[in-house]
């Protein structure tokens, strides 16, 4: 009986640990409440190679100084940079520390080329750009939302080619399609699932969960949807993809698989891009001090880059999938778009800091989907700009103070946001998207400013204190990529920096089975499963003068043992382990 008193003492000691945080009804503790077809989308495929590989460190194959670059802040080094990029094959173009004057657009039009500096600080590798795109090409309203001085795209205009027609309909969440022919398709290939509205407006309504009509701007009619997908396997006429479909596939929308040229494995890293210090020209008057743009690109990245005094920082355009923007810093005067994603899918923007003011800090527009903004901060409120034209199923998680005010776009583009955009554990107070919240938006976290509204097809506003998991993207990646590391009392945890897995304990109190028939009430604590009581024993106080009860003695022994170990986390594991061994010896 004494061993049972010891067990109860240990249980009381372990129970004194802080309680776990709250859980969302959309996810649960570890995704047990979730399926890929639920209103909470699967965001785990965002980023370079869908998070399945870390950003690479490719070898240096060229140095801009070998092509005449000086880096003295005076000499125009544009031609030297262009020559180095043209000569580079399958590796990095090194830009040693210095200040390099660039006066024309640098184009990367082939795969496997990386621009690599030696640091993003003022004493690192600085590209100083004293001109705007208007200075280079002439004025154009488009410089307000497109174009940049580092331009990553194929050398020829991107033209999609039909590979095959899709023969059967499929619901959102499926991973396979039956096609007319698999000729020209291969495992690992990137394809576009192309759908076009039949004139009824049904495709646009579907992108808004049938809660709203899409826009009617001339360039949106008829509405098309291009969803980039990677082929996992081909079996007869069935093509299986590496991720679930984000929308239904309807034969009314003439679905087909298309192919087109893309550049892949292109990187911009460890650089500082500084524009000439001039006053901000004003909204929609920007002359084009724009830093980086991607078109028709996949599995590429921008890492450790600081952008100063820009009109716009980073743009993405059509046929873009699977990019990672990591450790990005925006500084200087006010600008238009900080990071803007349009017509793009599965981009991961993480660990960024925005020190200056932007009309639109973070933008999703033009049917952008599956994109993730994670672990970002701003010196001012982050403007989460939903710019219309049906951006859907994008995720904002673990960001600093924010606002939806400042969401832009032409009136003809329809609602600012499409279906199932998700805002997870943002800094309180958590505001809701009043203008498009009813379009199946998900707002989950602490300090939601409106009353809970947990509807099936419209808004989901859920207040959860100390929300766990804190980061939805990382939790979903952990579930998909690290499941083999999970056990009854431990979870596999995805490490974004290394694209690797580790283990972390499940929440204290998670039910488990310790395998000991003499215990019940088994529960996890610090990754260990331990029974807390025995069904054949009741705890009774000792008779006067007969000493302490086993419960009290066990509690005293447990507390005394814990005091001998200054690291409490290890003590709990140690005590549970000792309890098991000691119990079996009695």
What is the pLDDT at residue 533? 66
Q: How far is CA 180 from the centre of its chain?
A: 34
What is the pLDDT at residue 518? 86
What is the pLDDT at residue 486? 92
Helix, strand, coil % in the chain, rounded to nearest 5? 15, 35, 50
Question: Looking at the DSSP assignment, which residues form a beta bridge with residue 91?
Answer: 113
User: Interhelix angle for 550-563 vs 568-585, to 10°?
Assistant: 140
Burial of 88 (0-12, 13-18, 19+ CB in 10 A): buried
CA distance 296 to 264: 9
CA distance 447 to 344: 31
Task: Give the Å distances, CA to CA, from 114 to 123, 180, 428, 546.
Answer: 21, 39, 39, 79
**Beta carbons of 37 and 171 less than 8 angstroms apart:** yes
DSSP assigned state of 284: T
DSSP assigned state of 59: P
What is the pLDDT at residue 534? 59
Question: Looking at the DSSP assignment, which residues form a beta bridge with residue 62?
Answer: 93
Collect all residues with Cβ–Cβ distance below 8 Å to 211 and sequence separation of at least 6: 419, 438, 439, 440, 457, 458
The one-digit pLDDT tens for each residue of the chain (586 residues) are 333 333 334 333 333 333 457 999 999 989 999 999 999 999 999 999 999 999 999 999 999 999 999 999 999 999 999 999 999 999 999 999 999 999 999 999 999 999 999 999 999 999 999 999 999 999 999 999 999 999 999 999 999 899 999 999 999 999 999 999 999 999 999 999 999 999 999 999 999 999 999 999 999 999 999 999 999 999 999 999 999 999 999 999 999 999 999 999 999 999 999 999 999 999 999 999 999 999 999 999 999 999 999 999 999 999 999 999 999 999 999 999 999 999 999 999 999 999 999 999 999 999 999 999 999 999 999 999 999 999 999 999 999 999 999 999 999 999 999 999 999 999 999 999 999 999 999 999 999 999 999 999 999 999 999 999 999 999 999 999 999 999 999 999 999 999 999 999 988 888 999 988 888 889 999 999 998 765 544 223 333 333 334 443 344 444 444 444 343 333 444 444 434 443 443 4
CA distance 245 to 522: 40
CA distance 152 to 140: 20
What is the pLDDT at residue 20? 53
What is the pLDDT at residue 562? 45
């Amino acid at each position: 009986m004494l061993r049972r008193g010891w067990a109860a003492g240990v249980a009381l000691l372990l129970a004194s640990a802080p309680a776990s945080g709250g859980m969302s009804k959309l996810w649960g503790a570890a995704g047990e409440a979730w399926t890929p077809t639920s209103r909470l989308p699967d965001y785990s495929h965002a980023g370079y190679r869908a998070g399945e590989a870390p950003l690479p460190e490719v070898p240096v194959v060229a140095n801009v100084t070998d092509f005449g670059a000086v880096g003295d802040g005076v000499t125009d080094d544009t031609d030297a940079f262009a020559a180095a990029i043209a000569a580079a094959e399958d590796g990095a173009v090194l830009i040693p520390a210095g200040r390099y004057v660039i006066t024309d657009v640098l184009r990367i039009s082939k795969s496997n080329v990386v621009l690599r500096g030696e640091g993003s600080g003022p004493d690192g590798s600085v590209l100083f750009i004293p001109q705007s795109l208007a200075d280079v090409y002439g004025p154009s309203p488009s410089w307000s939302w497109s174009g940049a001085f580092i331009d990553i795209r194929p050398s020829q205009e991107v033209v999609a080619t039909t590979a095959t027609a899709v023969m059967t309909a499929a619901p959102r969440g499926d991973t396979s399609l039956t096609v007319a022919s698999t000729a020209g398709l291969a495992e690992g290939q990137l394809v576009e699932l192309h759908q076009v509205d039949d004139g009824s407006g049904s495709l646009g309504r579907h992108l808004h969960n049938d809660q709203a009509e899409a826009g009617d701007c001339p360039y949106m009619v008829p509405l098309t949807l291009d969803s980039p997908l990677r082929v996992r396997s081909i079996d007869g006429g069935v093509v299986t993809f590496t991720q679930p479909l984000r929308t239904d596939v309807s034969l009314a929308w003439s679905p087909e698989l298309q192919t087109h040229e893309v550049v892949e494995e292109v990187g911009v890293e460890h650089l500082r891009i500084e524009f000439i210090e001039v006053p901000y020209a004003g909204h929609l008057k920007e002359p084009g001090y724009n830093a980086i743009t991607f078109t028709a690109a996949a599995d590429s990245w921008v890492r450790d880059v600081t952008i100063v005094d820009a009109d716009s920082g980073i743009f993405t355009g059509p046929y873009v999938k699977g990019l990672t923007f990591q450790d990005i810093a925006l500084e200087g005067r006010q600008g238009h778009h900080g990071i803007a994603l349009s017509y793009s899918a599965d981009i991961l923007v993480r660990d960024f800091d925005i020190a200056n003011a932007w009309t639109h800090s973070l933008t999703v527009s033009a049917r952008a989907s599956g994109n993730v903004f994670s672990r970002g901060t701003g010196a001012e409120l982050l403007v989460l700009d939903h710019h219309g034209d049906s951006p859907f199923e994008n995720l904002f998680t673990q960001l600093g103070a924010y606002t939806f005010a400042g969401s832009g776009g032409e009136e003809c583009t329809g609602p600012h946001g499409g279906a199932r955009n998700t805002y997870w554990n943002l800094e309180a107070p958590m505001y809701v998207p009043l203008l498009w919240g009813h379009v199946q938006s998900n707002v989950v976290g602490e300090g939601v400013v409106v009353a809970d509204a947990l509807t099936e097809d419209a808004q989901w506003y859920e207040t959860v204190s100390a929300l766990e998991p804190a980061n939805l993207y990382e939790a979903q990646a952990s579930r998909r990529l690290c499941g083999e590391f999970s056990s009854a009392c431990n979870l596999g945890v995805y490490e974004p920096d290394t694209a690797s897995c580790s283990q972390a304990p499940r929440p204290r109190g998670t039910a488990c089975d310790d395998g000991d028939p003499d215990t019940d009430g088994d529960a996890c604590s610090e990754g260990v499963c331990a029974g807390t009581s025995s069904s054949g024993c009741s705890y009774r106080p000792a008779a006067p003068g007969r000493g302490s009860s086993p419960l009290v003695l066990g509690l005293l022994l447990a507390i005394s043992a814990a005091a001998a170990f200054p690291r409490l986390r290890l003590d709990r594991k140690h005590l549970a382990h000792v309890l098991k061994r000691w119990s079996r010896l009695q």
